Structure 1
Amino acid sequence: MFDSFQMITLVSVLLILVFSGVHIAVSLGITSMLGIYLMTGQVDTVLSFASNTAYEALRDYIFAVIPLFMLMGEFLAKSGAATDLFALINRGLKRIPGRLGVATVLANAVFAFITGVSIAAAAAFSKIAYPEMRRHGYERKFSLGCIAGSACLGMLIPPSVLMIVWGVITEMSIGSLFIAGIIPGFVVVALFIGYILWVAIRHPERVGEGKVLPTAQQEARDANDLVAEKDMAAIFRSTLGLLVLIVLVLGGIWLGFFTPTEGAGVGATLALILAIMRGMTLAEMKDAILSVGRTSAPLLLLLVAAQLYSRVLAMTGVTGATKEFFLDSGLSPYMILGFMVLVWFILGCIIDSISIILLTVPVFAPLAIALGFDPLAFAIIGILAIETGLLTPPFGILVFTVKAAVTDEKDLTTGEIFRGSIPFWIVLLVTIVLIVIFPEIANWLPNVGNELAR
């Protein structure tokens, strides 16, 4: 068993490596092997432990969930599903104030059921929704804030990559995590829409109401509306196929007809069929597969390193010592939870979401269970807290994604997008508080699913 000095050494080495810019997978691997060496003093044992852990991790078929769900999202994105979805929702909300903002949130919510990756949604809707908003006279800051803020839904609404990583690290049911994110996702969507409607009613000029648009801009808007009207039947069929796919995949997982991995395989296959029906070419199919490979391979490497790190923390006593420290500190469970959320906020300003999970969850999750928090509710709280980092300066990866996608605005700064995203950031914090007070928001639906599956 480690002594206190060795524990501090292990944690310090990890933090030094991470904040020095060493890749998170390399940092976790080096730290893990250092921990085993300090405990055993034998290089052969270190190599044997690392190789056995990697082998056991890679042969676990749950690792196929990530690339398969990504492939499903990539096929549907290539087919133009996101554009059709936005057009249909936009048309259906014609009489709603601020309808383009509301349509962006709702389309992101549905799109989140497909991709599980917020960056993909931010890039897609920067190209789809932003030009429409500007054509209708929307304030630039408000438009970009809507897109960046609603893109966060990709990490909360299943199938979320963060949920998969959380499930692998904690050995929780990924299917239960998926279902646990649905109601909190709807809560966030409702609060986002509530804010947009409030802006549209109190400050109609920010959503283009009452503005006299230039003649060319008005003609372009009318022409675009006419095209959308003509194509509505085809768009409706495309969106209906999308919704059927979502219901089949998530409904099958919820009711226990198949595992998350099997559901991901079914989803990828159905998405491929829909994409081919929409005219996806062989070259586009190849490009989608290669894109998923380039994105998912580093994630799988991270997960192998994270499993090694998690095992080492348990074996060396770091997890147990941390748990005892907080339990003996005299702090209330909610104060300790507040501390964990604060750590996630701070890390969210510096490093990416998956790295935050890999670094903190092996220690925080056992502590939360010891404090009496529901594991599913705590997982959703953690994912929401980590999500805020996607909108928090100076990292704010969604903000940088939106800026990179909006190429026509030469004078646009990241600061303007950050300011537009603040209300959406606040909504995420409010949702965290609601789940802390009412954990049933997260765990009720999985419990119902478990009952139905019996």
Structure 2
Amino acid sequence: MAAEIVLYMIGLLVVLVLLGIHIAVALALTSVLGIWIMLGSFDIALSLLSTSAYEAIRSQVFIVIPLFVLMGDFVSKSGAAGDLYRVCNRALRRLPGRLAVATVAGNTIFAAVTGVSIASAAAFSRIAYPEMLKLGYRKEYAAGAVAGSACLGMLIPPSVLLIVWAILTEMSVGALFLAGVIPGLILALLFMGYCVITAYLNPSIAPPAPLRSDDEPTDWREIIGATGILALVALVIGGIWGGLFNPTEAAGFGAVGALVLGLVKGMRGRDVMQAIYSAGRTTAPIMFLLIAATMYSRLLAMGGAVNYIQSLFLGLGGGVIVVVLLMVLIWLLMGMIIDSISIILLTVPIFVPLAMSFGIDPFAFAIFGILVIEAGLLTPPFGLLVYTVKGAVPDRDLRLGHIFKGSIPYWIMILVTASLVILFPALAIWLPGIAF
């Protein structure tokens, strides 16, 4: 009976989300209602859920999220992202489609200090897209490079999605960060290879740019910005990998380092406060979501819903391949209507135990899941990154269709990388195995 109540609550949750109720509110309402019905006491239900929320939010690991978000906001406000792009652009000037390749390279490094793909998409939409358009790049090719490469922010550490996944599954944040490095680099190389090969085969989509004065050696201000970002990456990822400090301490050092970089780049009091406010606006909804997700997990545990849903999946037949494909389908469909963090909060408490029952490595499954959820950010008709790029680019003639068309190859490459990770788990577990 309890499992059936949970299933009814999950159905109600889906209805509330489709009606436009905020996912955190929907999670909290259905959790309270479900436990109330199971226990027959509203006071006990509230007491259990309030205790769950308190225990969740007091965990030290939660400070990682606001600190890494703050680090990314300091870097974004400082203008270092533009410096990084220009340095990459000059370094790659001999390659076909160099501006698209520079966008991917810049996003790869920028992702390692922001952890949020929306931030990368917004930044490079304003920096890279106008440059590509000015030199005659085709809209689909240019917008696709910006939207597709922004997905790297969800995989390359310190990814907010990886942090949320680690919190929900009680995995090591540092180990999960390292698990995303090799798949993230593979994906970045695939993106760059696609940009170069496509521009080489069809020069009309990315005309070669003549050498200009801005192709001369980079000035010291740009070098400071680009070098500062690389130093932050080395500090955060290298520090965790080398065992110098844990992820929470790395986030603190990263935020301080980003502040120093911002001050060197010319940020002043007002800019610093704007970055802090921006980080707060980004972090607060995430924390509320995590509290609501803790309540949701308590409901699933009390109702025995995970075992019940597992039996439903196993009853489909076909073994692990069918179950994994069904998970992928659910993730992609959900990616059309809700954000990535909400998808993780709704599905991970159910999907992870199911994957473990099939003997799938937890690190490989985490990276696989993040990659598929990344693909959902580009899936029509409601790919979140596509709408971010559309809203950020200073080109009124750019249509959603242009961006979706240009993003399809990146969507395919993300799913290919996800397949490689699930088929060859060593891609995700090799670095964590060395470090831990």
- TM-score range normalised by the length of the shorter chain: over 0.9
1:361 aligns with 2:351: no
Moved more, 32-41 or 419-428: 32-41
Contact 2:89 2:98 (8 Å CA) reproduced: yes
Shift of 1:8: 2.8
Contact 1:314 1:320 (8 Å CA) reproduced: no
Shift of 1:3: 4.8
SS at match of 2:207: coil
1:325 aligns with 2:312: yes
Question: For residue 404 of structure 2, what is the aligned residue in structure 1?
Answer: 418
Question: For residue 196 of structure 1, what is the aligned residue in structure 2?
Answer: 195
Question: For residue 148 of structure 2, what is the aligned residue in structure 1?
Answer: 149
Q: Which ranges of 4 or more aligned residues in structure 1 deviate by more than 6 Å?
A: none
SS at match of 1:138: coil
TM-score, normalization: structure 1? 0.93
Question: For residue 212 of structure 1, what is the aligned residue in structure 2?
Answer: none
1:185 aligns with 2:171: no
Contact 1:388 1:428 (8 Å CA) reproduced: yes
Moved more, 109-118 or 10-19: 10-19
TM-score, normalization: structure 2? 0.97
Question: For residue 299 of structure 2, what is the aligned residue in structure 1?
Answer: 312
Question: For residue 417 of structure 2, what is the aligned residue in structure 1?
Answer: 431
Question: For residue 440 of structure 1, what is the aligned residue in structure 2?
Answer: 426
1:76-99 Cα distance to aligned partner (Å, 9 max, x none): 111111011011111111111111
Question: For residue 403 of structure 1, what is the aligned residue in structure 2?
Answer: 390
Give unpaired runs (5+ residues) of structure 2.
none
Shift of 1:316: 0.9
Find the aligned partners of 1:318 and 1:142 in 2 and give their Cα distance: 45
Question: For residue 298 of structure 1, what is the aligned residue in structure 2?
Answer: 285
Q: Which amino acid aligns with 2:2?
A: F
Count of matched residue positions in the alignment of Structure 1 and Structure 2: 436
CA RMSD of superposed structures (Å)? 1.5
Q: Which amino acid aligns with 1:254?
A: W
Find the aligned partners of 2:388 and 2:253 in 1 and give their Cα distance: 30
Find the aligned partners of 1:139 and 1:10 in 2 and give their Cα distance: 48
The residue correspondences of 1:370-409 to structure 2 (distance < 5 A) are 370-407=357-394, 409=395
1:47-79 Cα distance to aligned partner (Å, 9 max, x none): 111111111112112111111001101111111
1:84 aligns with 2:76: no
Question: For residue 237 of structure 2, what is the aligned residue in structure 1?
Answer: 250
Q: Which amino acid aligns with 1:417?
A: I
Shift of 1:237: 2.9
1:2 aligns with 2:20: no
Question: For residue 59 of structure 2, what is the aligned residue in structure 1?
Answer: 60
Q: Which amino acid aligns with 1:46?
A: A
Question: For residue 161 of structure 1, what is the aligned residue in structure 2?
Answer: 160
Shift of 1:137: 1.5
SS at match of 1:391: coil
Q: Which amino acid aligns with 2:324?
A: L
CA gap 1:399/1:104 in 2 versus in 1, 3 angstroms: same
Q: Which amino acid aligns with 1:323?
A: Q
Question: For residue 449 of structure 1, what is the aligned residue in structure 2?
Answer: 435
Question: For residue 248 of structure 2, what is the aligned residue in structure 1?
Answer: 261
Find the aligned partners of 1:96 and 1:236 in 2 and give their Cα distance: 21
Shift of 1:230: 6.1
Contact 1:88 1:232 (8 Å CA) reproduced: no
Q: Which amino acid aligns with 1:59?
A: R
Question: For residue 214 of structure 1, what is the aligned residue in structure 2?
Answer: none
Contact 1:175 1:253 (8 Å CA) reproduced: yes
Question: For residue 101 of structure 1, what is the aligned residue in structure 2?
Answer: 100
Question: For residue 336 of structure 1, what is the aligned residue in structure 2?
Answer: 323
Q: Which amino acid aligns with 2:398?
A: L
Contact 2:56 2:294 (8 Å CA) reproduced: yes
Shift of 1:329: 4.0
CA gap 1:94/1:45 in 2 versus in 1, 3 angstroms: same
Find the aligned partners of 2:243 and 2:30 in 1 and give their Cα distance: 38
Find the aligned partners of 1:328 and 1:140 in 2 and give their Cα distance: 47
Contact 1:139 1:208 (8 Å CA) reproduced: no
Shift of 1:174: 1.1
SS at match of 1:88: helix
Shift of 1:330: 3.1
Find the aligned partners of 2:315 and 2:94 in 1 and give their Cα distance: 58
Contact 2:3 2:308 (8 Å CA) reproduced: no
SS at match of 2:21: coil
Find the aligned partners of 2:137 and 2:373 in 1 and give their Cα distance: 30
* Equivalent residue in structure 2 for 1:273, among 249, 254, 260: 260
SS at match of 2:101: helix
Q: Which amino acid aligns with 2:415?
A: L
Q: Which amino acid aligns with 1:243?
A: L
Shift of 1:229: 3.0
Find the aligned partners of 2:262 and 2:193 in 1 and give their Cα distance: 34
Give unpaired runs (5+ residues) of structure 1.
210-217
